[in-house]
Structure 1
Amino acid sequence: MNYTLHQLKVFYTVSNCGSYTKAAQQLGLQQPTVSEQVSTLEKTFGLDLIERIHGGLRLTDAGKVLYQSVQHVLGVSDDLGRIVEQLRGQSTGTVRVCADTTVGTSAIPDVISKFQRLHSGIQIILEVVNRAKVIERLEEGKVDLAVMGRPPDLRGLEVEIFLPNELLMVASVRHRLAYQLKLPLSAISDERFLVRESGSGTRTALIELLETVGIKPKIAMVLSHNEAIKQAVIADLGIALMSRNVLEQELKLGLMTILDLEGLPIIRRWHVVSPPGKLVSPATREFRQFLKNYQPNSK
């Protein structure tokens, strides 16, 4: 059969993304090119691998079987590439990074931009998901590095501190508690909370904080993106625990306020996590070292 490693990679990426458009963005290709590559692979194998459903794509039974084999083939290919890179001692190649939503949409894009100015031969593929998905990627060995809050309790992980993560309780400037000082946590016992989906590290931090004083949060809305939560806070639909990293513009413009509550802010750390048992390429080592030394205000 005449198929290419590139076609397998495209099929694998489409399968993971559940969308030709998202896969195209991740691969840096045009959407029609991605569709054509999958179609060519299907013709080569004489099998339907992906079918369209309402709201996305899904693998056929044949596609599910092939997916497992493709995952193995791509893993072997990546390992071979790393071995060659190590033998040559060159900092080129691809680094697959998975970051949780907050750090992945705030600090990491700036990190990648600065890194690639210095290392144009290294491609960074970034996937931004919630904490639960980051852990899943680490367990499956699908990434070279992960950037997240509290590292999971998995054997063999290599963990390094990245940046501080300051969690704040924010509210609309019209909120009844806005600008009041030194409030006890009990002051927000009847508030409506705006939270991320289950599996989010920030949501877990909120629940843990309120549990210390016996408060069960009243969830007003569950939103999958920080931007949506910020807009809901500004509209005074509820209050939210959020990272300062994603609030810079809104606080600067006076669109929301920080509630002065006992036990806050919560100071945590972002971490760079390497999955267990994975051969570390020179490119990954270079990027990990850059993360370790990164200064947010550097040019």
Structure 2
Amino acid sequence: MDQQLLVFVTVVEKQNFSRAAETLHMTQPAVSQHIQMLERSVGTKLLNRSNKYVHLNKAGEIVYHHAKEILGLYTKMRNLVDDLTNTATGELSIGASYTFGEYVLPHIIARLREQFPLIKPTITIGNTYEIEELMTNNQIDVGIVEGEIKSKKLHVEDIAEDFMSIIVSGKHPFAMHKDLTLQDLQNETWIVREKGSGTREATDGMFEKFQFSPKDMMEFGSTQIIKESVEAGLGVSLLSHWAIHKELKLEKLAILKIQGFPIIRKFSLVTPSTKFQTKASEVFVTLLKDKEGYNII
């Protein structure tokens, strides 16, 4: 059954029997046979076929969602059994929200590869909501987020502090002021992340805490785009010190000195609520909890 599910998932993601066969190193008739066997097993058709592409029908969407979860669990089971007799090795799937994933995680991975070269990490970057979904569906081994995790089925543990400040272009008139208040920024354009991200959650929390309502706001889906936009003078933003340390050194961005800032939030480690972990996951979590790994600024 696991082979049928693997073939099915591959066909869905490649949207084509020929490409799936090439990926799986199988013949196209063999791929078709696995799909037919799976459809007979569940008692209904799962795919809508056209000349070039295949698409999921409603039943296929259900099977695809659960197949991804089953394959994820199967991989974890196999890795756990392998770990009984082997050292830390194999695949490690990591999910991280943008700030941690883009500005902190690469340094942690470099230390991991130096100490455990047989571990092969893969990284998925997404907002907090997306990382929570991946973990819930057993598609990643470890998650690191800066937003709030809603699910009660996951284990969440704070691992580091993150400092957030309001930033402007290094050429902004406010860059040299030392006695600003948040109300001085009422007429500025605020550039914020999308709903679901930890940075947006922190920004909305800041607005609520200070009872502040900006008159103009733009929403962007990338921290890098926000930094470039602020540097270009399009507006102001609330960002993590991790994300802006290079621009601060080059004086392209400036932190505003406002009472009540920086805001402190937590980076959180997210793992399945189970006592079983692969050795690869264990050594990675140990590195995450080593505070020396965060001395990158």
TM-score (norm 2): 0.80
Aligned to 1:133: 130
Aligned to 1:36: 22
| Percent identity of paired positions between Structure 1 and Structure 2 | 25
Q: Secondary structure at the match of 2:175?
A: coil
Find out whether 1:149 has 2:135 as its counterpart: no
Gaps of 5+ in 2: 37-44
Determine if contact 2:89/2:279 at 8 Å carries over to the other structure.
Answer: yes
Find out whether 1:261 has 2:258 as its counterpart: yes
CA shift for structure 1 position 2: 11
- 2:255 and 2:48 map into 1 onto residues whose CA distance is 48
CA shift for structure 1 position 35: 8.0
- 2:176 and 2:116 map into 1 onto residues whose CA distance is 46
- 1:278 and 1:138 map into 2 onto residues whose CA distance is 15
Find out whether 1:74 has 2:71 as its counterpart: yes
Worse-matched range after superposition: 192-201 or 214-223: 214-223
Determine if contact 1:94/1:124 at 8 Å carries over to the other structure.
Answer: yes
Q: Residue type of the partner of 1:139? A: T
CA shift for structure 1 position 33: 6.9
Q: Secondary structure at the match of 1:88?
A: coil
Find out whether 1:93 has 2:93 as its counterpart: no
Change (3 A) 1:197 1:68: closer
CA shift for structure 1 position 160: 3.4
Whose Rg is larger?
A: 2
Change (3 A) 1:163 1:9: farther
CA displacement 1:268-289 (0-9 Å, x = unmatched): 2212121224731122111111
- 2:3 and 2:185 map into 1 onto residues whose CA distance is 60
Change (3 A) 1:194 1:86: same
CA shift for structure 1 position 79: 3.5
Change (3 A) 1:112 1:42: same
Determine if contact 2:147/2:199 at 8 Å carries over to the other structure.
Answer: no
Find out whether 1:232 has 2:229 as its counterpart: yes
Determine if contact 1:85/1:282 at 8 Å carries over to the other structure.
Answer: no
Change (3 A) 1:58 1:236: farther
- 1:51 and 1:177 map into 2 onto residues whose CA distance is 60
- 1:278 and 1:42 map into 2 onto residues whose CA distance is 37
Aligned to 1:60: 56
Determine if contact 1:207/1:217 at 8 Å carries over to the other structure.
Answer: no
Aligned to 1:188: 185
Aligned to 1:25: none
Change (3 A) 1:149 1:42: same
How many residue pairs align between the two structures? Answer: 279
Find out whether 1:102 has 2:99 as its counterpart: yes
CA shift for structure 1 position 173: 2.4
Q: Secondary structure at the match of 1:247?
A: helix
Change (3 A) 1:58 1:11: closer
- 1:217 and 1:51 map into 2 onto residues whose CA distance is 50
- 1:242 and 1:126 map into 2 onto residues whose CA distance is 22
Worse-matched range after superposition: 252-261 or 84-93: 84-93
Give the aligned CA root-mean-square deviation in angstroms: 3.3
Q: Secondary structure at the match of 1:105?
A: helix
TM-score (norm 1): 0.80
CA displacement 1:213-270 (0-9 Å, x = unmatched): 3212334321111111111101111100011111122111111211111211112221
CA shift for structure 1 position 77: 2.0
